[in-house]
Structure 1
Amino acid sequence: MGSTQKNVLAALTAALLWAFAFVAPAAVRPASELLLVTGRYSLFGLCGLYVLWRGRRQLGLMPTRRILFGLYIGFVGYFVFYVCVSYSATMDSGFITAVVVGSSPITIAVAGNFAEKRMSWRELIAPVVLIIVGLTLLSVSDLIQGDDLEGANDSLFAILLALGAMLTWSYFVVRNAQSQRTWETKPDPTLWAGLVAMGAGGASMVLLPFAIASTPAETFEPYPLFKIIAWCVFLGVIASWWGTYIWVKAAQGIPVPLVGPLLATETIFGAILSLPVERRLPTWSEVTGALFVLAGIGVYMFFDVKNSRTRNGGNGGSGGHGGDDDERSSDASGVPVVT
């Protein structure tokens, strides 16, 4: 029991580290969102490059198509994802962005259900409806509060960007899980994480000069410059790389039913942390929308846990099928589960 509690605490620590990704875009102003993204993932990519260099012999044995695929999903699932998150958070609210992205377990479940029937479609109706209601409340929060039309339009565009981030992350998780499940020889998790990091880092390194050139001049004054560098180091090395290491180690000792809820805490932390940075309290429509989204995720996880126990024949995941579920949960969180 003590070991499980320590692993849960470690997983929560990783989720908290990742949650700062929703806070950073507003915290680094006047630096541009693109500078934050490229700075963060350039450092993350260098960590991946170091891992790939150390494992270059194993990398040489990996088929080229798998190497390219790892780089590709790293670019889409990390770089494109965080571009959407950053612009969404600064256009409207890190709180709303975190809540919208937090509904990704449902899109992952729907997409995954097409490829591998895990639960009845009927069981997905209630979670999907709850989340749609919640997202609708979040989308029209400015109109409900009586704000001007321009502010409402910005909020709606920010919601679209957040939905883009949610769909991008869902695509990454599903494709990563599907591909590795169909491969006869699975890549080493550390080496695979290095490839994904390089996929995000490669694009960032290419765009970093443009991001610097398009950043407001006041960003390069001493304090703003120190702030953006500190955030890039924190997000790229501590949150992304070290946070992933903590999660992978902790997940090995966490019961399967707890994996989903622990991953979901990332966006809950992100929503809570965003409010002090934005110096405000959430509106009633934001709170109501967030509660609907959380309720949808909760209902989905209830059915998922119930179905997992049914598949395991009541063995609590300790039998042969339990190994399959452990593998599924690891893949579903995308081995490198950084955001």
Structure 2
Amino acid sequence: MAAGDLIRGVAYALAAGLMWGLVFVAPALLPDYTPAALAFGRYIAFGVVALLLAWPDRQRLAALRRADWLEAFKLALVGNIIYYLFLSAGIQAAGVPLASVLIGTLPVVIAVSANWHDRSLPWARLMPSLGLIALGIALVNQTEMGRIEAGHGHAYAAGAALTLVAVAAWTWYPIRNARWLKAHPGLSATTWTTAQGLATLPLALLGWLLWGLWQGLSQPGAPWLMGWGPRPLLFLGLMLAMGLFASWAGTLAWSRASKLLPTSLTGQLIVFETLSALAYGFWHRAEWPAPVTGGGIALLVAGVLMGVRAFQRPGAGAA
């Protein structure tokens, strides 16, 4: 594939990973907020940002067909609401690093799933980079699994199960999103990101309302629906930051990468989110990663570099 497209695509994927890694920190900073509050709050903010940006892009949004809007709603439900609801629950149950490790399997899972469908690269040239990434995940996972023996077994098991649902949701989302963008080359990535934000807003508002009503019934006097919880300023600030950066800007960067690169390569580049989440998680813990974890991180980086080089070779990027 063209070197310019490869460089720009990787840069967009890196930018998306850096912003998406931020979402792993919010549940740890707001442990007294439920996963539902974090998920629906973040995506209400995403919808509000999209609503503000919709006016200058109104002509291209008006040109979207009914099928486009239906697809945007599907992507919003699975890739936004379901994904982050279960990810937040997993993080609060087991902590940031374990959740980031399980989400870290996405580069392998998505790359294999995508390449199985479109065969953008021969398996013999794809597997070495995926092998390094898988080994890196295993090394980081070994360190985190050791924490189960310290008395966190039940919480870690629950957190792992919840996070695996998020893994399934985000395996489906990028493959489906990339196929839609490539099937509609005239569709602007900016317009498509805003459309997904607009589709997310009613889903998030409905989820917030239903969750708030349930809170009121199960916990009389709970101030969640109108009071924004016990730390409203921090909550609102983090939700707005995630809505703008992690949701809108991150989705835009990823959609642009998806238009430039084969899905089997962008799948591997999701490792940027894993690396960012690990960095932010260890920063929040105020500790350095263990040597084994550091070795795993090095292998993750090496696997991505090998994957990018595989697509630089002649004939690798026909897709």
The aligned residue for residue 267 of structure 1 is 274
Q: 1:212, CA displacement in angstroms? A: 3.8
Read off the aligned partner of 2:204 and give its amino acid letter.
S
1:15·1:265 contact (CA, 8 Å) conserved in 2?
yes
Q: 2:246 pairs with 231, 239, 262, which one?
A: 239
The aligned residue for residue 47 of structure 1 is 49
SS at match of 1:147: helix
The aligned residue for residue 25 of structure 2 is 23
RMSD (CA atoms): 4.1
Q: How does 1:219-230 map to 2 (within 5 A)?
A: 220=227, 224-230=231-237
Q: Are residue 188 (structure 1) and residue 188 (structure 2) matched?
A: yes
Summarize deviations over 1:38-86 as a string: whole Å, max 9, x none.
Answer: 1110111122234445444433433211210122112211221111221
2:105·2:134 contact (CA, 8 Å) conserved in 1?
no
Pairs aligned (count) = 304
**Inter-CA distance 249–154: structure 2 relative to 1 (3 Å threshold):** closer
The aligned residue for residue 205 of structure 1 is 205
The aligned residue for residue 86 of structure 1 is 88
Summarize deviations over 1:220-248 as a string: whole Å, max 9, x none.
Answer: 59861211111111111243224555x47
Paired with 1:262 and 1:59, the residues of 2 have a C-alpha distance of 29
Specify every segment of 5 or more residues in structure 1 that has no aligned partner in the other structure, as ranges: 313-320, 326-339
Q: 1:197, CA displacement in angstroms? A: 1.5
SS at match of 2:196: helix
2:40·2:205 contact (CA, 8 Å) conserved in 1?
yes
1:33·1:86 contact (CA, 8 Å) conserved in 2?
yes
Read off the aligned partner of 2:115 and give its amino acid letter.
N
The aligned residue for residue 3 of structure 2 is none
**Inter-CA distance 135–91: structure 2 relative to 1 (3 Å threshold):** farther
2:107·2:269 contact (CA, 8 Å) conserved in 1?
no
**Inter-CA distance 303–138: structure 2 relative to 1 (3 Å threshold):** closer
Q: 1:206, CA displacement in angstroms? A: 0.5
Work out the percentage of aligned pairs sharing the same amino acid. 21
The aligned residue for residue 332 of structure 1 is none
The aligned residue for residue 58 of structure 1 is 60
1:71·1:200 contact (CA, 8 Å) conserved in 2?
yes
1:98·1:271 contact (CA, 8 Å) conserved in 2?
yes
Paired with 2:268 and 2:111, the residues of 1 have a C-alpha distance of 14
Summarize deviations over 1:172-225 as a string: whole Å, max 9, x none.
Answer: 111112233234x53222221112112333211101123445398487598612
The aligned residue for residue 175 of structure 1 is 176
Read off the aligned partner of 1:45 and give its amino acid letter.
G
1:28·1:231 contact (CA, 8 Å) conserved in 2?
no
Deviates more, 1:33-42 or 1:297-306: 297-306
SS at match of 2:31: coil
1:128·1:296 contact (CA, 8 Å) conserved in 2?
no
Specify every segment of 5 or more residues in structure 2 that has no aligned partner in the other structure, as ranges: 1-6
